Each structure stands twice: as structure tokens, then as C-alpha cells.
Amino acid sequence: MEATSLVPLMLLAPILLAVAASDLRHMKIPNALSLGTVALFLACLPWFPAEDLLLRVVIAAAVLALGFGAFCLRLIGGGDVKILSALLLFVPVPTMAIFANVFAAAMLLGIALILLVRLLPVAQRSGWPSMQRSRRFPMGISIAMAGLAHPFVAPLAQGLL
């Protein structure tokens, strides 16, 4: 895998930051951010290896379908499903397993951070839904962390193999 294959994922950084901010503040990820992600994917098509494209789309579609089932069972938010599926369009196929590990680590870190911040009195006074002590978690933060970290972690992980 060439390092340039991760450049489009780096271009996604502003959208991922907006995802994290929106989910933290409102516990919602606007459809415009998911649509913007797909639009950026289409604009970046020349950057992606042709042999990689179909599998990226299949993986993203599978996550969307499985995520829809989880959404119907109220296990995950609809915005989380859409942005995660759109993000996977940017992950090079040879690094999908690495991304899965980065995402798992980001989930653990995100949950730990939110639980710690919720303990602070200022968090309770913020009025933000994500700061209320509930069973709900703003997963967009972890999705964004994984997308932002992957371009840096993937080359390191592949160099270690």
C-alpha cells in the first residue's frame, strides 16, 4: 500500500471533526455530513486504486445493512451507521483489519473519556445530551477518532508486520 492512498482519508478530517462536535453537542450526526463524505469520496475517485473500489463499496454497503439492523434493534444510532459506512469508503482494503483494530481502540477510548467527563460538575451543567448520565454514548466521537488516526496508524502497523 502506498502512503498516498491514505491522502483522501486525511482530506476527510474537517468532516470527521464536525461529526465529533455534532455528536458531542447534540447526540445527532446530520445527514449532510454523511452525504458530504460520499461526495468527497466521489471527488477522490481518481486517487483510489481501481481494483480496490468495488470491495470498498461492498464493505461499506454491508456495514450499512448490518448497521440498519442494529439501528432497528436500538443498538446504534442511524447517524452513526451512515457516517461509519461512508467513512469505510475511504479505508484502503489492505488496511481494513488495521482500521477495525483502530476503531475498537477508539471506541474504548471514547467511552472512557465520556464517562470521565460526565463525572465533572461542569458537564452536567452543560445541558448537552451526551453529558447526561445515561446509557447512550456519542459514538460519532469514536468514529471520528478512528478515521483521523487511521492514516497515521496504518503505515506504522504495516511496517511492523
Residues spanned by the domain of 15: 3-160
Three-state secondary structure of 73-137: CCCCCHHHHHHHHHHHCCCCHHHHHHHHHHHHHHHHHHHHHHHHHHCCHHHHHHCCHHHCCCCCC
Across 81-88, average pLDDT: 98
Q: What confidence tens digit (pLDDT) does each residue in 11-51 have?
A: 999 999 999 999 999 999 999 999 999 999 999 999 898 89
Count: domains in the chain: 1
CA 74 to the chain's CA centroid = 19
**Global pTM?**
0.91
- List of residues 6+ apart from 134 with CB closer than 8 A: none
C-alpha cell recorded at residue 6: 491514505
